[in-house]
Amino acid sequence: MKALLIVDVQNDFCPGGTLAVPEGNKVVPVINSLMDRFDVIVASKDWHPPKSIHFDKWPPHCVQNTPGAEFHPKLQSARIQQVFLKGTGNRDDGYSAFEATNVDLESYLKSKGVSELYVTGLATDYCVKASALDARKRNFKTCVVTDAVAAVDVQPRDGEKALEELKAAGVALVTSRDPI
Ligand SMILES: [Zn+2]
């Protein structure tokens, strides 16, 4: 069984948000187009308290119960079967979806018989990378869909470097045009 993981496609990470990923909104139609190919569709959300040490490193974003923490309005979020909330503590970066505190992602996927995880969303160089590396560590066959992710690129090429690091860790890089 394969699952689609949609990482942090939230308003604050899209253009107009407080920590926008350049062209972050462009992943939305690609992710929507992938949904028909999966029986299990899950998503993570950055879900920070108003005060967090995480905001020493980043502008405040995705604060719990604010519009910035909502999914992008064009994402077909009604099709998401479970949302995993991460970064929920005030000392917690929560880059990886496997750090979710409301539901344990690994146990959830195993309970659904999932062995293959396709990772999409924002941002390539932080939460997508951390989630895909954690999936590999937990022995899921892991793919990143490269046209369904976008990078913050705090430094130029951070996104490309993240993809190289993922490949070296045994994560497959595919595109939405590949047979998934
Ligand atoms: Zn965050």
* 127 is an active site residue: yes
Q: How far, in Å, is the centroid of ligand 1 from the Cα of 38?
A: 27
**Which residue is catalytic, options 12, 86, 93, 134?**
86
In angstroms, rounded to a whole number, what is the distance separating the alpha carbons of residues 43 and 30?
A: 15
Angle at 74 between CA 70 and CA 78, to 5 degrees: 70
Structural contact between residues 117 and 109, judged by C-beta atoms closer than 8 angstroms: yes
Give distance in angstroms: CA of 34 to centre of ligand 1: 25
**12 CA → ligand 1 middle, Å:** 10
Instruction: Give the pTM.
Output: 0.98
pLDDT-derived band at 46, boundaries 50, 70, 90: very high
Q: Do the Cβ atoms of 180 and 37 come closer than 8 Å? A: yes
Q: What are the tens digits of pLDDT across the range 108-141?
A: 999 999 999 999 999 999 999 999 999 999 999 9
pLDDT of residue 171: 98
Name the DSSP letter for residue 38: -
Nearest of 95, 117, 119, 121 to residue 26 by alpha carbon = 121
Residue (of 116, 119, 117) closest to 30 by Cα position: 119
Digit-coded pLDDT (tens) for 48-68: 999 999 999 999 999 999 999
Count of alpha carbons within 13 Å of 162, Cβ hemisphere only?
A: 25
Name the active-site residue from 8, 12, 46, 93: 8
**Taking residues 78-99, what's their average pLDDT?**
97
C-alpha of residue 3 to centroid of ligand 1, in Å:
23
Task: Report H helices in the chain.
Answer: 27-34, 105-111, 129-137, 158-168
Cα distance between residue 144 and residue 137, in whole Å: 15
Residue 8 annotated as catalytic: yes
pLDDT at site 8? 98
* Residue tagged active-site, from 93, 127, 129, 134: 127
